[in-house]
Structure 1
Amino acid sequence: MGFEITKETYAGAIKNITIGKGDGALTVGGQTSYPFYQFEGDMPNKPIIAMEIWDMEPEDWPEAAKAPFKDVLNDPVAWAKKCVDEYNAQAIVLQLKSTDPNDKDASADDAAQTVKKISEAINVPLIVWGSAVPAKDSEVLKKISEVCDGHNLVLGPVEEKNHKTIGAAAMGYGHTIISSSPIDVNLAKQVNILLENLGVSLDKVIVDPTTGGLGYGLEYSYSVMERLIQAAMTQGDDKLQNPMINNLGNEVWKCKEAKQPVDEAPELGDPERRGILMEAVGAVSYLMSGSSILIMRHPESIKLVRSFIDLAYAGGSAMDIGPVTKQLDDVEIDFAALSPEPDLTIAEEAKKAPAKKAAPEKKEAPKPAAAAPKADAKPAPAAEAKPAPAEEAKPEPAAAAADPAAEAKAKADAEEKAKADAEAKAKADAEARAKAEAEAKAKAEAEEKAKVEAKKKALKDAAAEREAEEQAIREKRAAEKEKAAAARASAPKSSVPMTAAKFQKTELERILENLDKVHRRVTE
């Protein structure tokens, strides 16, 4: 019997959403399985990468991020055209940084004119990303919707605070919305429900779960995106079956590690390659968690991620993928000088090291020979007896030669004894542990048995008490019946006069009257 892969069945699917207009329009989403699980379902549309541009010249970008666009950073239209013509951008994301009230606070009219110029200059979908200040975005994105009527822009982020204003404008002028929530599944669903209640079709909504860079931010975002895709696929939640977008480049390149020059953090390697690889690693992570649109900045990062998408989607070899192409001067880092001095001492040699310190004692042996002339200068009979210790010390080399064998034997005996002691201790510990586990298990079983017996006894006592109460009630009712029967038997019998009613009712009237009584009784 051949090997068969266990396949998961899915209750839902991600919606197909088209962005852009005309021949440059793209469709995202549409998958009927987890990301790239094409052995379980269909993935008709590959994820797309949108290149990021700003509506003002960035001031805090590192040199590695500025280098590919250094000639167009002050002209958003030329910047967008360069991304499309030179770097083959699939879509453009315009970050409206100048509209931030805490910075330049550009007007809605200026932003709308910039968006319109860019939209008319390129033939790929345009995504417009506001300042993330709800009140300002309401004003700006509403104006952009009106000025760019029919361009099918993607507008965001739309939050709970401004969903009515932007949602109504996008719906009226035919744009797509990015519903944004702060890394929470329930809040993401709530924003979609609010937009749907407003009248916005969920076929025109893309979900932004809020994107973090590398580290804890990525872990939180990845976890929430997994839960969103699981709710859409396995639970069939139609309020969450929307493609997801990640504003990645803006997050990665503003972190400290992407900006530090080599003199500040030489241990992190080449700053240019470092930022490129950080962005690429984050992009691959979000692709595997279900992202349909990635917003990225550096062309080399995008090249690497496109290669990954193609390989994951259609298979093939990565041998043809070229290395990262640098645009800045290469840097040389002496990692050997930065690394600590290696400790190559072997543990056994370290143990023997104290024994070698006895060697200097041999250097002190010649001292008596040096003192011999002084003994000759004073011809005392007692001086002739002093060389005896020197003659007795002569056998020391032979004794020293015998010491290594004895030392080795003593060491082997000590090691054998230590090994035997360790085995005995391990055996004793294992027996003690097994005994403790057996005692704990027996105690737990006894406690469980006692609990069961106590529960049975409590149930039995409760049943007996309930039976006694019921028997007492039955006896009481029997006594009351006997008393009532005795009272009826002793009561004087009298005839009740029967008089015909003044108005005789038909059978139907009596039935309806009874039904009215029943209905009144039920409603009361």
Structure 2
Amino acid sequence: MPYKKTEQKFNGKIGVCEIGAGDAAISIGGEKTLPFLGGEGFKTAVGIAITDSPEDWEGCFAAVYGDDMKDPAAFAKAAVEKSGADFVLVKLASADPNGADNSVENCVATAAAVEAAVNVPVVIEGCKNAEKDAKLLEAVAKTLEGKNVVLFSAVEDNYKTIGAAGGMAYGQKVSAESAVDINLAKQLNILLTQLGVKPQDIVMDVGSAAAGYGFEYVASTMDRIRLAGLGQNDDSLQMPIMTDVSNDSWGVKEAVFTEAEAPEWGSQENRGIGMEIATASACVIGGSNAIIVRHPESAKTIKSMVAGLLG
């Protein structure tokens, strides 16, 4: 008996968000059904992460990038070239007041240099300090006006500043960060839209975890968000999802333990790549419209997987 594909129909549709400007612009979202089950061709954009504090990264990345890691602009350009990524995320970790406490001005200059160095859309991440990020991402939004970057990410403690600057005053995109909780995700989207940010200027950062480390919560949250947006036509949960799996994947023991510490586990680099691919692929299947990884080989593999699933 021949196989007949049955496509489930939903009333809702995931919104479309365009990031980047000019020829470099890409769109994420727009699907009308669950990932890879519909005829419209769900596709995940794949991003590559870089940082202005590479000393915290595993030693294998020095072998991949060499001296380019010392200059964020060169680092970003090399990362895109080596990975074929659709966009790049720059982590301004040096801004952390509990770390290097780099100035807003210096970090904004780094963001501008990265944006000028690559021909793909740019996502700008702060240092995960809500107060510093509010000042930093507002300044980034102003400096990069017209570039349609994603400010990654606004949280409950700073969404007013980032939302007003990013999605309204300077025409950037705003990522709404919630900690693997559908109710928090919905609440923050509502707060941003009530502030005046347009739904098409919002992406959701619903959180992640490394595969095998509580990832079932991530999977169930993504499923519930997508089913609410599609099946219940809940417009507060119809924004595209952007997920950075790089920190979680490269932060667990399988990726952190060196070959001297765990010789029986083999290559540390291969372990980290494997963890990242496993985590990223699970998020893609769960409905992430844009996935961010750290290693170029991870990006290549996920891009290949998405192309294969699309046939």
TM-score (norm 2): 0.95
Distance 1:247 1:2, change over 3 A: closer
- Give how far 1:65 is off: 3.2
CA distance in 1: counterparts of 2:128 and 2:177, whole angstroms? 10
CA RMSD between the two structures: 1.5
Secondary structure of residue in 2 paired with 1:17: strand
Number of aligned residue pairs: 310
Secondary structure of residue in 2 paired with 1:152: coil
Contact between 1:98 and 1:104, CA under 8 Å: does it hold in 2?
A: yes
1:12 is aligned to 2:12: yes
Secondary structure of residue in 2 paired with 1:53: strand
Hey, what does 1:25 align to over in structure 2?
25
Contact between 1:64 and 1:275, CA under 8 Å: does it hold in 2?
A: no
CA distance in 1: counterparts of 2:120 and 2:56, whole angstroms? 28
Contact between 1:211 and 1:217, CA under 8 Å: does it hold in 2?
A: no
Hey, what does 2:184 align to over in structure 1?
187
Secondary structure of residue in 2 paired with 1:23: helix
1:265 is aligned to 2:267: no
CA distance in 2: counterparts of 1:300 and 1:261, whole angstroms? 19
CA distance in 2: counterparts of 1:49 and 1:7, whole angstroms? 26
Structure showing greater radius of gyration is: 1
Deviations 1:140-180 (A, max 9, x none): 01111111111111002101111111111011101000000
CA distance in 2: counterparts of 1:145 and 1:173, whole angstroms? 6
1:114 is aligned to 2:110: yes
Hey, what does 1:294 align to over in structure 2?
291
Contact between 1:134 and 1:162, CA under 8 Å: does it hold in 2?
A: yes
Secondary structure of residue in 2 paired with 1:236: coil
Secondary structure of residue in 2 paired with 1:254: coil
Deviations 1:450-481 (A, max 9, x none): xxxxxxxxxxxxxxxxxxxxxxxxxxxxxxxx
Question: Residue type of the partner of 1:212?
Answer: A
Question: Per residue, is there more helix in 1 or in 2?
Answer: 1
Q: Which moved more, 1:85-94 or 1:152-161?
A: 85-94
CA distance in 1: counterparts of 2:294 and 2:12, whole angstroms? 33
Q: Which has the higher contact order (CA 8 A, sep 6+)?
A: 2
CA distance in 1: counterparts of 2:172 and 2:273, whole angstroms? 32
Distance 1:111 1:263, change over 3 A: closer
- Give how far 1:2 is off: 6.8
Residue number among 43, 47, 50 corresponding to 1:46 in the alignment = 43
CA distance in 2: counterparts of 1:66 and 1:20, whole angstroms? 28
CA distance in 2: counterparts of 1:114 and 1:4, whole angstroms? 53
Question: Residue type of the partner of 1:66?
Answer: A
Question: Residue type of the partner of 2:79?
Answer: C
Identity fraction in percent: 38
1:229 is aligned to 2:243: no
- Give how far 1:3 is off: 6.0
Deviations 1:484-505 (A, max 9, x none): xxxxxxxxxxxxxxxxxxxxxx
CA distance in 2: counterparts of 1:290 and 1:60, whole angstroms? 30
Distance 1:234 1:69, change over 3 A: same
- Give how far 1:311 is off: 0.3
- Give how far 1:305 is off: 1.3
Hey, what does 1:362 align to over in structure 2?
none
Hey, what does 1:149 align to over in structure 2?
145
Deviations 1:193-212 (A, max 9, x none): 00000000010000001111
Instruction: Write the mapping of 1:69-88 to structure 2, written as runs, cut at 5 A.
Output: 69-88=65-84
Residue segments in structure 1 that go unaligned for 5+ positions in a row:
315-524
Secondary structure of residue in 2 paired with 1:70: helix
TM-score (norm 1): 0.57
Question: Residue type of the partner of 2:243?
Answer: N
CA distance in 1: counterparts of 2:111 and 2:4, whole angstroms? 52
Hey, what does 1:211 align to over in structure 2?
208
Hey, what does 2:282 align to over in structure 1?
285
CA distance in 1: counterparts of 2:279 and 2:175, whole angstroms? 21
CA distance in 1: counterparts of 2:88 and 2:36, whole angstroms? 24
Question: Residue type of the partner of 1:72?
Answer: D
Instruction: Write the mapping of 1:340-489 to structure 2, written as runs, cut at 5 A.
Output: none
Question: Per residue, is there more strand in 1 or in 2?
Answer: 2
CA distance in 2: counterparts of 1:33 and 1:113, whole angstroms? 41
Hey, what does 1:36 align to over in structure 2?
36
CA distance in 2: counterparts of 1:295 and 1:100, whole angstroms? 21
